[in-house]
Every structure is written in C-alpha cells, then in structure tokens.
Amino acid sequence: MLYKTGQRTSRLLTGINLKPLEHTLVWLLGLMVASGILSNAETRTDLPATTLYIVLLLMVINLFSISAVIIVALFCMGVLTSMYLYQGGFHSWDWTTQLLHSLAVLAAITFLALRSKQVSDNLRHKEVYMVGAQRLTQTACFGFRADLGRISWSEQAAQILEFPVDARPSVPLLLSRTHPDDLPLLLAGFEKAARHETLIEVKHRLLMPDGRIKHLHLFATPLLTRHGCFEYLGALMDVTASRQAEEALCRAQTQLAHVTRVTSLGELAASIAHEVNQPLAAINSSGEACRNWLSRPQPDLVEARLALERIIASANRASEVTRRIRALARQCDPLRRNESLNDIVSETLGLVRYELAHHKITPQIELAAFGAQVSADRVQLQQVIINLIINACQAMDAIDPNDRVLCIRTWVRDNEAVLEVTDQGPGIASDVLAQLFTPFFTTKENGLGMGLSICRSIIEFHEGRLWATSAAGQGSSFLFALPIRVANDAGYAAAI
C-alpha cells in the first residue's frame, strides 16, 4: 500500500503515469519523430535547431529535465556559432544576421518551453501536496453543479466512500452510500445548493455494504463559473474516528459520574436509612393505633380510618424515598427536561437532612428562584448538590458545632438560575482554589478528588458554570448558574 502510494506520488511528480511498456513506446515514438525531423533537415546548419526541437519535444513528455534542456540549448547555440566561425560566415553580412536570428529564435523557444515546463511542474507539485494533504487529513474534495445535478470527486473521496477510484461520480451513487436515516440531511444540502446558498454544511453518516457506519462532515461554497453558473467546491472529511472517540469519552464520563454518585450514596447511607425509617416508624405507630381503635368493645371506625390513611400516606412517603434513591443509584443515560431548580434542591435536602443533623449543622435555606425552570437531568443536578453539601459538611467537621451553619440559597440573575452552597469551614487557600476542579485533586486522606471535576462537567453539560469563592478562615461558597428555559419550552425533553 505504502509502495503504491509512493509510486503514485513519484508519477505525479514526473507528471506522467507510465508503465514500463508505455515508457518504452514513448521512447520509440520520440526516436521516430526525431529521425523524421532529422531526415527533413535540409542543410547541416539546421541540425542544432532540429536537435533542440527534439529535446524540447521529449521534455514536454517529461523524458528530459529542465537542466538537460538548458545544456542541450547552450550546446546547440555553441555548435551554430562554431559552424559560422568555421565556415568564415563573419565575412558575409547575410550569414551574420542569419546567425543572430537563429540564436535569438533558439533562445526564445528554449525560454518559452522552459517557462511552460516550470509552470506545469509547479502545478504537479501542488497536486502532489494536495493529494498528500487530503490523505493525511482524511479530507477529500468534490465539485457539484446543482443546475445539472453533476458531481465530481477526488480519488480520496472515492476512497472515503469506498468506491473504486475509476467509478464515475454521480449523485445516485453518493445517495446509495448515505445512511437511510440521514438522507433528508443530504437532500437538504442539495436544496441549499439549488438556492445558491453561500455555505453548505452537512454532517451525515454513510452505511457501508458490510453494515459499517462512517461519519462524514461535508462543507461547500459556490464558485461563479465563467458562464454565470454556480459550481460548488467542497471538502469532505471522514470524522468517524473522532466521533467514536467522543462517544467513548461521553460513555466513560457517564460511567464515572455514576460510580461517584453511588459512592456519595454510600456516604449518605445513614441519612437514607433514617429517611426510610421515619415513615416505617410512623406506619408502625399508626398501625398500632388502628388496632387499638378496632379492639375497643365499640370499635371507633372513624379514628381507625384516619389511622389507616396515615399509614397509606407514610407508605407512599417511604416508597417515594426509595424511588429517589433508586433513581440516584441507577445508571441511565442523562435525560434533560424542564425542571424547577427549587424543587430539585428541596428534594435533595430531604435526602441529606439527617446528614446535616448528624454533623450538627444548622441549615439556612433561602430558595428565591421561584418558578425558575432549567433544562436539567434531575438525577445529575441532585448529584452535584449532594456533592457540594457533603463537601461543606466535611469542611465544617473541624469547627465548633455552634458555628456550623450551612447556607443554601437560590436566586435568579440575568436569565440564569443560581444556586449557592456556603459553609463556615476553614476556607480554601488560593493555591488550592486554583486546582479544585482538576481531576484527582484532593486534600482529604480518603478522598478521590473526582467529585468537583465531575460536578463541573455535569454543569457544563447543562450549559452552565460552576465556580468557587473563598477567603481563608471565612468559609467557602460553591455556586452554579444554569440558563433559564423560556416559558413556551415547557414540553422540551431531550435525550442525550
């Protein structure tokens, strides 16, 4: 393959695609032409010029290099001048003018031939660079005439599309390779070309005969040809490798986020047990009360019914708690919907309430982002909030329990819903502050250092920002801001 590529490149550089047999034929042809011209040379003074013509002819078909032609041209001029001197031509004015004329003609022909050879060599070099660049960057080029529905493409494009290099390019051929689901995308591109749009960009997939999928990125701009027709010139890139890498990265990030979420749930085990225990205890006491009301000589059915309703309500609460925990523990693809930020925060607080009590922390909650809807994956946002709260709780472990206040606030600012988690811990030194969101950065003995980095990627995935502010000795604040969805986007839900 490499050999073939090199061979093709050198052929391009020499300008001719000749096989050994063809090479011999060209030589024979050249010799036949040469002998034909020689046999027509009327006088021996024609010989130098004739020789030069032959050499130029052979140069045009790339059998002689530029330097060889210059040497032959100088040689011919030298021969002409020597003949002139040898034959005493300087005695005749006619001979002298004839010599000068012949030299001038030889020089002009040589100059013009060399110039055109240089231009064609330059063009060939450029073509070689272009072919090489296309191969290296997996980019091919194509031309398209919308009015004629005529398409042409480079050899690299044929390779990307996996057609034989000599296959005649056509729109149906291109469509036959396009993934059926992406056909409308490509057809929309053709329609844009028919409207003479200035930039056409299409990202679509190819479906290969063996079932492989390739991802293409194609863009084209129009050139106005001499006859007032639009011809599009475009580039075609095979972006399969980068798309696969992106998808693998996304999968790895989702898995990592899931692992850290489950880890945080482990840290919240006591809180969760308490959350589930509370309604169970309520069910227990209401059940006993119900039994007492029914065991009376005169059963009090009204009270018994009320006790039963409390049991049902507590059972519902318990199942709601387990539903939320299961949602956090489950690994599923992110699903963004319009959600109220305040609702998400309130639900999360339910999960960490016991954790706060356990750390003897007084919560101060101010949820002022009334009705602010954000496009969010509920579970992922809960994961971020839990992480910030657990960090804040751990940061306050070292201070006096009376000073342990955790402030959680939400508000709306400049079309963004903002959440702030502030603790009264020791604060964060400026050198640590700079590294907080770096993966695996931790100052804790058993820390993993992934929490904040995952929180930031989750918030960025939600098109938001996450940052921290702190002054040593005055606690720290972690804030995130998410864009607010417009009201008429209520039904928006996107699977990503």
Which residues of the shown chain bind ligand ADP in the complex (CB under 6 A)? 387, 391-392, 395, 423, 425, 428, 432, 436, 441-444, 447-453, 476
| Residue 487 CA neighbour count, 13 Å, CB half | 1
- DSSP states of 283-302: HHHHHHHHHHHHHSSS--HH
User: For residues 81 and 100, what is the distance between their CA atoms, to the nearest angstrom?
Assistant: 9
Residue 169 CB, shortest distance to ligand ADP, in Å, is 54
User: For residues 60 and 15, what is the distance between their CA atoms, to the nearest angstrom?
Assistant: 10
Task: Please report where in the chains the tokens 């919907």 appear, as a residue.
Answer: 337
Residue 396 CB, shortest distance to ligand ADP, in Å, is 8
Nearer to ligand ADP, 56 or 450 (CB): 450
Cα Rg of the chain (Å, integer):
41
Dihedral over alpha carbons 110, 111, 116, 121 (to 10 degrees): 90
Residue 4 CB, shortest distance to ligand ADP, in Å, is 53
Nearer to ligand ADP, 110 or 380 (CB): 380
Residue 331 CB, shortest distance to ligand ADP, in Å, is 20
**Contact yes or no for 131/155 (Cβ under 8 A):** yes
Residue 159 CB, shortest distance to ligand ADP, in Å, is 46
Please state the three-class secondary structure of 390-453 as a single string: HHHHHHCCCCCHHHCEEEEEEEEECCEEEEEEECCCCCCCHHHHCCCCCCCCCCCCCCCCCHHH
DSSP state of 178: B
Residues linked to residue 337 through DSSP beta bridges, in sequence order: 376, 493
Residues linked to residue 151 through DSSP beta bridges, in sequence order: 144
Residue 390 CB, shortest distance to ligand ADP, in Å, is 8
Nearer to ligand ADP, 52 or 389 (CB): 389
Residue 182 CB, shortest distance to ligand ADP, in Å, is 40
- DSSP states of 38-80: HHT--STTHHHHHHHHHHHHHHHTTSS-HHHHHHHHHHHHHHH
Nearer to ligand ADP, 380 or 391 (CB): 391
Residue 475 CB, shortest distance to ligand ADP, in Å, is 8
Nearer to ligand ADP, 140 or 395 (CB): 395
Nearer to ligand ADP, 36 or 447 (CB): 447
Residues linked to residue 140 through DSSP beta bridges, in sequence order: 236
Residues linked to residue 365 through DSSP beta bridges, in sequence order: 408
Nearer to ligand ADP, 411 or 441 (CB): 441
Residue 442 CB, shortest distance to ligand ADP, in Å, is 3
Cβ atoms < 10 Å from Cβ of 164? 8
Query: Which two structure tokens, joined as six digits, stand for 485?
Result: 């969805």
User: For residues 228 and 297, what is the distance between their CA atoms, to the nearest angstrom?
Assistant: 104
Nearer to ligand ADP, 416 or 420 (CB): 420
Cα angle 37, 42, 47; round to 5: 60
Residue 400 CB, shortest distance to ligand ADP, in Å, is 16
Query: Which two structure tokens, joined as six digits, stand for 281?
Result: 């205890």
Query: Which two structure tokens, joined as six digits, stand for 276?
Result: 């589930």
Residue 425 CB, shortest distance to ligand ADP, in Å, is 5
Query: Which two structure tokens, joined as six digits, stand for 225?
Result: 């040809």
Residues linked to residue 203 through DSSP beta bridges, in sequence order: 217
Nearer to ligand ADP, 240 or 457 (CB): 457
Nearer to ligand ADP, 374 or 454 (CB): 454
Nearer to ligand ADP, 86 or 440 (CB): 440
